[in-house]
Every structure is written in C-alpha cells, then in structure tokens.
A and B are shown apart, each in its own frame.
Chain A
C-alpha cells in the first residue's frame, strides 16, 4: 500500500504545484484585463492621448503575462487522464462539461480578442477597439467562471447522481451545477483576488516609476486607477470571502473547523483563534490567543448558532461511514444481480454516504468487515492538515486586510494630491508587489488542502481517484513540470522587467516637457 500511497501523494503534489504555477499567471490576467478596459474607457471618453499610451503600455505587460501563462493550465488536463484516470471516469461526465465549455467559449473569445487588441489599434475605430478590450476582459473572467464551476462542484457536488450500471456519476441538473452556490461564491472571491493582483501590479510598477522620476504622467494616472480599483477589489475580496466562509459552514464544516483549529464544539458564539499552535496528534491548539464571539459571528452570522468542532464532526462522519457501508453492501449485491430491486432501493437510500465507507479502503479491501478502530481511524482521516490550513488562512486574511489599509491610505493621499511626496509609501507599494500572489496561493491551499481527504467532497476519496501508475512515472513528470514551469516563470519575470525598463511610449511620440501638467493630484 505504501507505493500506492506514494503515487497518491506524488500525484497530489504534481497537481498542486502545476495548479499553483498556473495561478501565478491567472490573477494578473484577470486584474490587468479589467484595468485595461477602464484606462481605455477613459481614453475614449476624454480623448487624451496619455490614456491611450497607458493602455498600450499595460497592454504589453498583459500580453507578456498572457503569452507565458496561456496553455499552462492544459497540463492539469493531461494529469486528469494520466494520474487521475479513476477520477476522470467516475466524475468526468460532470467535471468535463464546464472545462470543455471554458475551452470552446471563454478561452477562444479571450484569445481571439487578445489578437485584435494588439493589432487593432490603427485598424479599428476607438469605440470598436474599446469593445475589443472589454471582450478580452469578459473572456478572461468567463474562463475563470467555468473553471470555478468545475472546481466548485468538487467542493459541493450537486446536480448529479451515481449510476451503478456505468459506475460513474451522471448529470441530473446542469443548472444546479452552474448555479452551485459554492462555485458562484468562489468565482466572485477569486476574480476579486485577481483584481487586487492586477491593481497591485500597476500600483507597484507605477510607484517604481514615480520613485525614479520616470514616466511621471502615465505612472500618476495609472496609480490613481490602480488605487481606486484596488481598494474596491480588496474590500470585495474580504466581503465575498466572508460570504464564502458562511456557505462553507453548510457544505464544508470540517474545513472551517480545521481552519480555526477548533477541536471541540463551543457554546455559541464561538471564539476566534488569532494565534495558536495546532497539534494534530494531541487534538489541541497550544498557546492559543482567542477573541470571544468573532468566529461564531463570522461563520453563522448569528449569536446562538453552534459552530461544530472537529471532534463532533468526526463522530458524525463515523455515522456516515456506517451508513455508507449499507450503500456499499447494496453495490455488492447489484454486482451479483443487476435486477435486485431491493439492492437498488438500498443503494439510493444510502448512496450519499458511500464515499465515507470507501475511506476504509485505505486500511483493508473487505471494508464490510472493518473493525471499530478502523472506522474511528477513517473518520479521523477526514480531518485535513489543521496547522497548514490554520496558517494559510491567516496569511490570506492578514494580507487581505493589509491591502485594504494600503490601498485606502494611498488612495486618500493621491486624492488630495500628496502621494508623490510620501516617498516611504511609494516604497511600500513597490515592495508589496508579490503579496497578492502570496495571498492568492494561500487561499488555494485553504480551499484545496481543506478538501482532503476527498477529491470530490463526500463522494470519492482522493486515494481511490489516482491511477495505478508507477512512482517513477509520476516522479519524472513531476520534475519535468517543476523545471518547465520554473523556466517559464523566470522568462516571464525577465520579459516583464525588460518591458518595464523600456517603459511606456517607446514606440509612440512622448509629450514634450512643457506639455506635462504639474505632477500632483489625480486626474
């Protein structure tokens, strides 16, 4: 079993790393595409050439990021077929549909109009080109929507049922999959995080220009757009993240309890642990610093509703395992006799828990003979890595509040025309550049590590979704991907730095010094 578990861990690592590398490119595309639309809208409305230059300059950086990032997600689809073949068979009918729609509709829309964006400046009217730019932004965001519909289904598998004849999940209600509340909330939270990333990128690069005294006109205007958009986005991320946490209390209670390292259920409203050292072995959080009421208010929006702790949820999962064993037994009977009506009825009754029974497969093949100790062990196995989730969540939330303060303060200063004189804040903005990526990757760790041990929440355990391939096979592709993506990232950073050094307006006439307005205040 250890080799099989190695393949599981390596496949998870490979998928996680490729997803995280891919998501280095995605948020910047999401955020910059909207900022391009805003800047070009101002150009079309005011007719001022400087806004056209700004749009073209940030468009070049968008283009580099798009070119380096495009198709980096496709390697994950390779892995679905190779490393996750059982997963692909079991839920491919559902999971594949949004991915296919993303490729056919959103990505082609985005890719087509990216070409028109770059080559249409002198061929299209101002208004038509503006339409193209917004279609690029809409395409990028629609791509994210379909991907997150697929991802949201893994967290909250609605609109599907298991067919024992085909041994796979099949769609019963595509509308329920599309309008899955978890997917919709993940979408708005994720794209808002992308907007923060785009805003921080523009603000940081503009701050560098302002500190160096270069490209002042474009940098000052870009800074104004980035700070206002960044403030609105940072507020959205926090508000929508809160809504996401509220939904998670219904669908992913174990994740919430683990994120809060809340081992025991407390009388409502539960306290929030600001700091602590979660210990998975002793089921305790040492040296905890706690604020009364806050967790209960955040997760239930009430004063009298309980937030179940990990131990209580584990006990509930033991019941789910016992119930799931009845579904498993029905499945065995159906294998012997496809026409056994009683077995079908029993399967329908307990099917929602069969995933829990399958957790026992990691201990023994004949799970109907599992011991109480094995059932308890399997139930405790539904607890994800508490310490990792606890800290990843706090990094994400801490940075989220930092972005609100930073954008808010800087926006206030630029609104009253003082930002350029507060050089320390420009330095802070410049050095804050990588922080949105750290926040976004931490968010993905919370979302995906928090889903473990499930590949599809409550339906299919991760270890059963992995293909029976060799460890060496996974290792080769794992190191191949690490090398490939690292090289790609370095090239992306190299080209970005080069483009930023070249600066805006290298291929358009620069305004003469006497035409420049005073470098203060926002326009």
Chain B
C-alpha cells in the first residue's frame, strides 16, 4: 500500500498526544501524587470519628 499523504500529520498528532498523556501520567497523576486510601481511611470517611452514644432511629418510627 502506498503511503497516504496524511500519514506524517497523523503520526505527529498521535505522537504529541501520547507524549502529553504520558507526561500527565508521570507528573500530575503519578501514584506518588494520588491520595492513599486504606481500610482505616475509608472507615474514617464513611463513619467518621466515633460518637459517645450512638442512638439509631427505628425504622418503625
């Protein structure tokens, strides 16, 4: 198959795009920059600090 006239432009656009995405992955969204969530922090997020005397409502109210 002969080369398509747009092949260089498509290749350059693809390369630039992949470089930008790779740079974003390395410098903005790298694992070092991500918040670390474990069971304890998830528990803190959902339940928060323990309360002295939780009084759940009854669904029969």
Contact = CB atoms under 8 A, between A and B. Distances in A.
B47 A63 contact: no
Chain B, interface SS category: loop
Contact of B47 (A74, A332, A507): A332
Given A75-B21, A75-B24, A369-B55, A358 B46 contact: yes
A72 B25 CA distance: 12
Given A118-B1, A322-B61, A325-B57, A168 B47 contact: no
Most buried by A among B31, B39, B56, B57: B56
- Residue among B31, B46, B58 facing the most chain A CB atoms (10 A cut-off): B46
DSSP class of A's interface residues: helix, strand, loop or mixed? helix
A358 to B, nearest CB: 6
Interface string A488-515: 1001000100110010001100000000
B21 A74 contact: yes
Contact of B21 (A71, A328, A499): A71
* Centre residue among B31, B33, B34, B37 by max chain A CB count within 10 A: B37
A464 B24 contact: no
A71 B61 contact: no
Contacts of A122: 1
Interface of A: 56, 60, 63-64, 67-68, 70-72, 74-75, 78-79, 81-82, 85-86, 88-90, 118-119, 121-122, 165-168, 319, 322-323, 325-326, 328-329, 331-332, 335-336, 358, 361, 365-366, 368-369, 464, 467-469, 477, 480, 484, 488, 491, 495, 498-499, 502, 506-507
Contacts of A495: 6, 9-10, 13
A504 B27 CA distance: 42
Interface residues of B, number: 44
Contact of A82 (B4, B18, B34, B55): B34
Given A67-B13, A325-B57, A81 B1 contact: no
A328 B46 CA distance: 9
Interface string B15-29: 001101100110011
Contacts of B56: 325-326, 328-329, 368
Contacts of A118: 1
B17 A64 contact: no
